[in-house]
Amino acid sequence: LIFFILYFGLMIALGGVGRITGDKASSQPAGGAIGMFQSAAPSAKSGRMLSTEIAMDSIAEPGGGAIANIAADVADKKIIKTGNLSLKVEKADAAAEGIANIAKLNNGEVANSSFSESNRGIKSGYITVRVPFQNFTAVFNEIKKIATQVISESANAQDITEEYIDLEARLKNKRAEEASFVALLNRSGKIEEILAVTREVARTRGEIEQLDGRLRYLNSQTDMSAITVNLSEDVEIASASVDWRPWQVIKTSVKQLITGGQNFVDGLIRFIIIALPMLLLYGLIIWLIYYIGKKIYNRFNKPGQQ
């Protein structure tokens, strides 16, 4: 009796262990590449949770690390500053050259420019310069000194700090996601799993490039400020030099002389080719009429017939 009780107890114990082992073995391959993907790659939600945990840890650190970081961020704001000026000047060319020199002296550069000249010889146009953010005010005020009259002026500051911080956080999360995918590629797995992870790596790197490009653009806009200056020559000052232009008079006179000579030669050619033959024909007809008339007249008016 004791033997049978021990035998049945041993069988029940072995059966329970077998069921537990079978359940673990059957649940293991079900994940496949998706399971590996989910375990290794942080999702957007997990990225936000991770950022929150890091932020909370920073606040909990002694010495106020997070508060110090926030203060540093506030001090290092990202601002895009632009300015516009509309000026009257004596000479647009000289003014544009002066503006370019002011920009260069302040570690700036000319971004673009365009000018045109009216029929009266009065020039107008615009020039855009880019200067370091910290030199914006000095350059803006220095450019105004070139004008004989400041028609209008405006300055605009756009705070993009929030967008910049958001882009940096997204870029950091994407790089962490890329690192997880790359680590996943180093593991051994099926070909279809490797291909799936490779596609995710390519997608993530594309997003990283977009975010990085946007950050570079914002840096260029915040580091260098743009000032656009519209220039127009003062009509009263410009007219003094426009009204008397002897060289222009000489060129016009020579042009009229050449045009007159061309017209004379053209008329002479037309006369020789068209008018002269007609005149010769008319003259010949008149001479024949005169000659025949004279013959008839002499025949009827001979002295012996009177």
In tens, the pLDDT along 122-154 reads 889 999 999 999 999 999 999 999 988 899 999
Residue 225 belongs to a domain: yes
Residues 60 and 93 occupy one common structural domain: yes
Q: Which residues of the chain have pLDDT under 50?
A: 1-10, 12-75, 240, 306
What's the pLDDT at 279?
87
Tell me the percentage of the chain whose pLDDT exceeds 90. 33
Residues 81 and 219 occupy one common structural domain: yes
Q: What is the dihedral of CA 152, 157, 158, 160, to 10 degrees?
A: 160
For residue 253, give its domain range: 245-281
Contact 139, 128 (CB under 8 A): no
Q: What DSSP character marks residue 229? A: E
Residues 219 and 260 occupy one common structural domain: no
What's the pLDDT at 36?
43
Residues 173 and 212 occupy one common structural domain: yes
Residues 191 and 222 occupy one common structural domain: yes
Number of domains in the chain: 2
What's the pLDDT at 239?
52
Residues 210 and 255 occupy one common structural domain: no
Residues 149 and 269 occupy one common structural domain: no
Residue 255 belongs to a domain: yes
Residues 228 and 86 occupy one common structural domain: yes
Which residues in 236-257 are b (16+ Cβ under 10 Å) and which e?
eebeeeeeeeeeeeeeeeeeee
Residue 151 belongs to a domain: yes
How many Å apart are CA 90 and CA 72, to the nearest integer? Answer: 47
Residues 161 and 61 occupy one common structural domain: yes
Residue 122 belongs to a domain: yes
What's the pLDDT at 207?
93
Residues 274 and 128 occupy one common structural domain: no
